[in-house]
Every structure is written in C-alpha cells, then in structure tokens.
C-alpha cells in the first residue's frame, strides 16, 4: 500500500471514518431537543463538528439555555446511542483490510475520537476490535477538541511515534484540520453527513477517497 510509505502509525477517527455512525446523531439531537420543546436548528451539526462530548454538552447548555447538569446531558446521549453502537452500527466497508494490513506490517494503530469513551468501547467490543488498537483517546481527555491538534498529538504520544510518521483517516473538515495542525498526513474519506462540505474537505486533505476499497487493494 503506497500510502503507507514512511508511516509508523495510523490514527483513525471513529464516527464516519472507522464506523458508519454519523447518521444516528442528527436524529438523537432532534429527539433530545424535541423533549425540551426545541426545534433542531439547521446549522447545529456544522457548529458542533469536531467538538468533544463535553464541549458539545456545554454548547447545548449555552445555546438552548438548558438548566441541567452537564453529566446528565452526556449520560442521556450515551443512553440514547448505546443500542445503536452495540447492535446496529457497521464498520466502514473495507476498513478491516487497512487494519489487517497494518497489523501484518507492524504499523501501530490508534483512535482519536470526539465521541465518549463509553460508546467508543461499546462499538469496538461489538466488532471484537479492542485488541487491534495500541492507543485510544477521546477529545474529553485533552484540553481542546478538533480542529485543535491536541487529540491526535496525544494519541501519537501514547504510540511513541513522531507526528510526521503518522497517517490520519478522517471524514470531517474539523478532523482533517486537526490532523494537519498536528503535522500529520491525512486521508479524508467520504461520509454522507459531510457531503455538503466535500470540496473543502478534499482540498484540505492530502488525499480524498470515497471508500476504503480505493486503497485497500493497492499493493504497488
């Protein structure tokens, strides 16, 4: 796989990149706000892109004037999403070929996600993939979420790999920017939720793919 030349680690984003899960979050936001008599604003998804679970909860508290504990909001989101992550969310097509190749070649694997650790572990356990990854971090474990480089730099530190030797897979503009800001190479993968920003994402990344099949069979 030519894109792995001079690479010692691959870091995956989770939602929309490693797993096909972005589709559930808009509905969760609709249902969460509807319970509070609030209609989902059209700009919400773009505004919260890249935020950590904690930053998103704070955003909701501020924007919608929610007089609720932050941890209660996060617990509600986890509860609403858990069945999806345990039983209904698939891996992105052909991503396992990339992972298996990396494992065979001794390339370290990490995850840097804006999601909660609970949902991260739930979906990895569902696909029996926890042991595949050498480091896993959520944006709640660093100072600032994406597009800040903090999350990816922390994963690289855990892996003991220089940022310049890391390749990131991401699906959002904020995620691609985070990888670039970390001094890492980044391949952007198409996800339907990010489709309106396809051109900006493709321009910001080193390479853009519509699916892992485009590179999974590259043996040159």
Between the alpha carbon of residue 46 and those of residues 2, 147, 174, 187, the distances in Å are 33, 13, 10, 20
Residue 1: per-residue pLDDT:
61
Cβ atoms within 10 Å, residue 102: 19
pTM of the complete model:
0.92
Residue 181: per-residue pLDDT:
98
- Give the Cα separation of 21 and 19 in Å (integer): 6
Ranges of the chain whose pLDDT falls below 70:
1, 217-220
For 143-193, the pLDDT digits (tens) are 999 999 999 999 999 999 999 999 999 999 999 999 999 999 999 999 988
Q: What is the rounded average pLDDT for all residues in the chain? A: 94
Residue 45: per-residue pLDDT:
86
CA 25 to chain centre: 13
């Amino acid at each position: 796989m030519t894109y792995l030349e001079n690479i010692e680690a691959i870091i995956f984003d989770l939602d929309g990149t490693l797993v096909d899960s972005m589709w559930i979050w808009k509905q969760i936001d609709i249902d969460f706000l509807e319970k509070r008599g609030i209609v989902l604003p059209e700009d919400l998804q773009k505004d919260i892109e890249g935020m950590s679970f904690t930053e998103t909860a704070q955003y909701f508290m501020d924007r919608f004037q929610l007089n609720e504990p932050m941890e209660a909001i996060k617990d509600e989101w986890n509860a609403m999403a858990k069945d999806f992550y345990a039983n209904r969310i698939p891996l992105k097509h052909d991503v396992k070929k990339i992972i298996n190749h990396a494992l065979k070649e001794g390339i370290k694997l990490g995850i840097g996600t804006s999601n909660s650790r609970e949902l991260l572990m739930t979906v990895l356990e569902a696909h029996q993939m926890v042991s595949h990854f050498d480091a896993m971090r959520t944006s709640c474990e660093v100072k600032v979420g994406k597009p800040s480089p903090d999350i990816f730099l922390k994963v690289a530190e855990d892996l003991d790999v220089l940022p310049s030797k890391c390749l990131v897979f991401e699906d959002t503009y904020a995620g691609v920017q985070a990888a670039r800001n970390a001094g890492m190479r980044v391949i952007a993968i198409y996800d339907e939720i990010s489709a309106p920003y396809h051109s900006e994402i493709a321009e910001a990344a080193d390479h853009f793919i519509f699916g892992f099949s485009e590179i999974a069979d590259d043996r040159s």
